[in-house]
Amino acid sequence: MVPLLIVTSLALGQVEAPEAYRIGKYDVLQIIVPEEPAEFPQVGAGSLTVGPDGRISVTFVGDLVAQGRTTTQVAEEIRQGLIDAGQFVDPHVLVRVIEYGADRVSVLGAVQEPGYFPFRDGITIRDAIAMAKGVQLDIAANSMARLVHSDGSTRSFELNEALRSEGPMADLRLAPGDAVVVEESAPVSVLGYVHEPGDVRVREGGRLSEVIGLAGGIVEPGEQTFESGRTPGDPSRVTINRADGSAETVALMSYEGGPTIEDPVIHSGDVVYVPASENEVTVLGYVTTPGVHVFRTGDRVSDAVAAAGGPVRSNGGADSILEVGDTGAVVLHHRDGTREIADLETGVAGEGDPVLQPGDTIVIPRRELVYYAVGHVGIQGRHTLPPGSRVLDLFTAARGAPLPDRVQILQVDADLENCVLARADGTQLVIDMRAVAQNPASEMNVELVPGDSLWVPESDRRVIVGGYVSSPGYFQFREGNTVSDVIAMAGGVTISPTGSYMNDGDPHSVLVIHDDGTQDTLDITRGDMVLRPGDEIRVPYARKRVTVLGYVARPGFVLWHEGDSVLDMIAAAGGPLLEDADRFSAVVIRRTDGEPEFIRVDLSGAHDMDSPEFNVEVLPDDIVMVPKSDHTDYRSWLTNVRDALSITNLIGALF
């Protein structure tokens, strides 16, 4: 058995191995990379079809040539490309052919189902197009097609002849790998006085006469009435609006039907318009059927509007009010540039209803809708707004300016948070206009219905702030606002320039007078009070002061606050003069029953520890004196101060 096996092996080794398969166009390849995660493959996902240029495109590698190469060669190039791209270190790549394209034909372009189809002997161009379910319905009758052979050579032919098995391509049989390409035709719009206006398709290079022929031809002379809607077209003034924005007027032929004079080439995207040869009027705007219409001699504007279906009207539904044509202000533009206004709502025949002229343009404007605003607004009464307007638009129009620009005007009088919108159907909505102005996209900014009325009521939450504040006057407050909130609206309690104190307000003795006559005195530095409608707030003059004299930066009056100490007063006066003042001593002079009381204050401990034991509390009208640092005999100096008869002598003794 062993020799037999050896002989057999030698015999097999003498058999010549077959040549490896070379990949061809339209072959379907599968790429497998075992190193890729099975759940997220990228390189090996799906299948790849070799294109007509013999190339495939591989993720991370890019385009590479597959035609004419073996699967091993293509796999090695992909493997090296993945390594170069840094995606894998040493991947294994397998390429195999799962479908051979040499036995297929391609049908591409303007067919119902373009793609690749099995090849069989004797297949014709008509058979191939039939396998693609036929050409697209809007393909022009004179469209062209191409036959591309597997060797790259190309032949053009007329599509209709091939479909009828006529012409030079009638007996042609396709070969494996051939491709039939049906050319896309160019869409062109034909409008105006032709029998079948609309989009037509014509081969690239088609001419104007072909395009008009595909649209049924120009309407011949006939009856010119609104009812028939037909009038002859004028072939001597055909307009071509080019896709590039240019325009030209062409005399395709004389109006009498003579020979063709100009027949330019038409391109994709062009628009061809054939005008009327006789009376023609354009009706635009808010009509049922805007467009070009025909009129008879003596017809009026109302006849043209009727021919356009009449003005757009509301049917009474909530969603139908946005588009309403206004026949009371119809604008009539004449060909000579003049214009006039037609009022078709007067009801008097002929009056306000001009006779039409050739080339007129009638514009029916949108009827502006009417709403009302009353109460505390700048402009009360009737307001005309465009359809789709909202309650904020009405409020803005009633005030003459946008809300954010003029809000201060109504702060005193209007209750912006409780406005009422009375709807045309009898319902009412309470709207916070202040919130709507801050967020126009909110649900409260409802769309208006004709006849709606907005009422802005007078505010019952007003308070007057007087006395020593920056801006006294009336202010509107929100529920929950306090006395300090409104004083802040008034600019706060007044504070005089440094060292003056002549116009200081006293935040410790704010007087609140209520509507029922009762009063409260409030120290807003320590507490607060919720406001009530009708309250009056008075900030009094700050009479409680302390005099600071001697060697301080700003000697004079200092505003007193309850609990202030000697150090607080010296600090309020700018502090002691560093070089001259005795920073460890002071004296407080206080009048008790008309007699001065002298209180010596030792500040040495206070500077170190800030302990109340060394820092005396002051009272209103006290005098705090800081001596000079060279008064070493403090007892003698204090005796001189006691003997002083006046403030002048007191200052003299100090210095």
Share of the chain above pLDDT 90, in %: 8
CATH topology of domain 369-456: Outer membrane lipoprotein wza fold like (3.10.560)
- Reduced to 3 states, what is the DSSP secondary structure of residue 11? helix
Average pLDDT over residues 366-383: 82
The answer to whether residue 16 scores a pLDDT higher than 90 is no
Return the pLDDT at 392: 92
Beta bridge partners of 145: 157, 182
Facing residues of 420 across strands?
Answer: 430, 455
Contact 26, 48 (CB under 8 A): no
DSSP 3-state of 42: coil
Name beta bridge partners: 411. Answer: none
CA distances 123 to 91, 171, 398, 551, Å, are: 44, 10, 80, 120
Q: What integer pLDDT is reported at residue 537 of this predicted model? A: 93
- Closest by Cα among 40, 41, 77 to 61: 77
Q: Beta partners for 276?
A: 233
Per-residue DSSP letter, 337: S
Beta bridge partners of 493: 469
C-alpha 501/C-alpha 542 separation (Å) is 8
b/e map 540-567, b = 16+ CB within 10 Å: eebebbbbbbbbbeebebbbbbeebbbb
Confidence band of 75 (pLDDT split at 50, 70, 90)? very high
Please report which helix (H) or strand (E) contains residue 394, including its range: helix 391-399
Identify the CA nearest to 537 among candidates 478, 489, 479.
489
From the candidate CATH numbers 3.30.460.10, 3.90.1150.10, 1.20.58.410, 3.10.560.10, the one assigned to the domain spanning 102-182: 3.10.560.10
Point out which residues pair with 537 in neighbouring strands. Answer: 465, 512
d(CA 205, CA 196): 22
Q: Is 133 left (phi over 0), alpha (psi -120 to 50) or beta?
A: left
Three-class DSSP category at 125: helix
Residue 544 confidence (pLDDT) = 74
Supply the DSSP string of 395-430, one letter for each residue: HHHHHTS-HHHHHHHHTTTB-GGGEEEE-TTS-EEE
- Backbone φ and ψ of 33, nearest 5°: -125, 100
Long-range contacts of 166-169 (CB under 8 A, 24+ apart): 169/125
* DSSP bridge pairs for 157: 145
Predicted local distance difference test score (pLDDT) of residue 407: 35
Q: Do residues 58 and 81 touch, judged by C-beta distance below 8 A?
A: yes
**Strands of 198-202's sheet, edge to edge?**
198-202, 186-192, 271-274, 238-241, 247-250
Helices 391-399, 403-410: inter-axial angle, 10-degree rounding: 60
Backbone angles phi, psi at 279, to 5 degrees: -60, 125
Supply the DSSP symbol for 218.
B
Question: 335 φ, ψ to 5°?
Answer: -65, -30
**C-alpha–C-alpha distance, residues 285 and 288, integer Å:** 9
Class of domain 462-539: alpha beta
Euclidean distance between CA atoms 68 and 84, whole angstroms:
24
| Residue partners of 120: CB distance under 8 A and separation at least 6 | none
Task: Render pLDDT for 434-457 as a digit per residue (tens, 0 to 9).
Answer: 889 889 999 999 998 877 899 888
Element (H, E) at 75: helix 71-84
Q: Which of 82-86, 307-311, 539-543 bottoms out in mean pLDDT, i.e. has the lowest?
A: 539-543
Between these two residues, 52 and 641, which has the higher pLDDT value?
Answer: 52
394, two tokens: 């009405």
Residue 72 φ then ψ, to 5°: -65, -40
Whole-structure pTM value: 0.29
The CATH code that applies to domain 28-99 is 3.30.1950.10
CATH code at 282-367: 3.10.560.10
pLDDT category, 253, cuts 50, 70, 90?
confident
Residue 53 reports pLDDT greater than 90: no
In the predicted structure, residue 239 carries a pLDDT above the cut 80: yes
Query: In the numeric block, which tokens belong to residue 201?
Result: 């398709």
d(C-alpha 77, C-alpha 61), whole Å: 9
The confidence score (pLDDT) of residue 7 equals 36
Q: Among 51-65, 200-214, 218-232, 619-633, which is the least confidently predicted range? A: 218-232
For the chain, what are the domain ranges? 28-99, 102-182, 186-274, 282-367, 369-456, 462-539, 545-654
pLDDT at 4 over 50: no
Question: What topology does CATH give the domain 186-274?
Answer: Outer membrane lipoprotein wza fold like (3.10.560)
CA-to-CA distance for 497 and 117, rounded, in angstroms? 97
Other Cβ atoms within 10 Å of 333 Cβ, number? 16
Q: What is the pLDDT of residues 598-616, one digit of tens each?
A: 888 877 765 554 565 667 8
Evaluate whether 28-99 and 462-539 have a shared fold: no
Encoding tokens for residue 305? 């509007």
The pairing of beta strand 154-158 with beta strand 238-241: unpaired
Better-predicted residue by pLDDT, 340 or 321: 340
Q: What is the pLDDT of residue 567?
A: 86
146 - beta bridge partners? 156, 181
Q: Given a cut of 50, is residue 400 above it in pLDDT?
A: no
Q: Report pLDDT for 45.
A: 65
> What pLDDT score does 5 carry?
35
What is the predicted pLDDT for the residue at 449?
A: 86
Stated as kind and residue range, the H or E segment containing 163 is helix 159-163
Q: In this model, does residue 77 exceed pLDDT 90?
A: yes
Which H or E run includes 650? helix 647-654
**How does residue 482 score in pLDDT terms, banded at 50, 70 and 90?**
very high
> For 427-551, where are the E strands, in sequence order?
428-431, 453-456, 462-467, 473-476, 510-513, 519-522, 536-539, 545-550
Over residues 291-297, the mean pLDDT reads: 72
Instruction: Spell out where 173-220 has E strands.
Output: 179-182, 186-192, 198-202
Q: Which tokens belong to 611?
A: 């302990």
- The domain 545-654 having CATH identifier 3.60.60.10: the answer here is no
> Residue 652: is its pLDDT beyond 60?
no
Determine the angle formed by the axes of helices 647-654 and 634-643, rounding to 10 degrees.
160
Neighbours of 241 (CB within 10 A): 16
CA 621, CA 547: separation in Å to the nearest integer?
7
Mean pLDDT of 64-82: 91
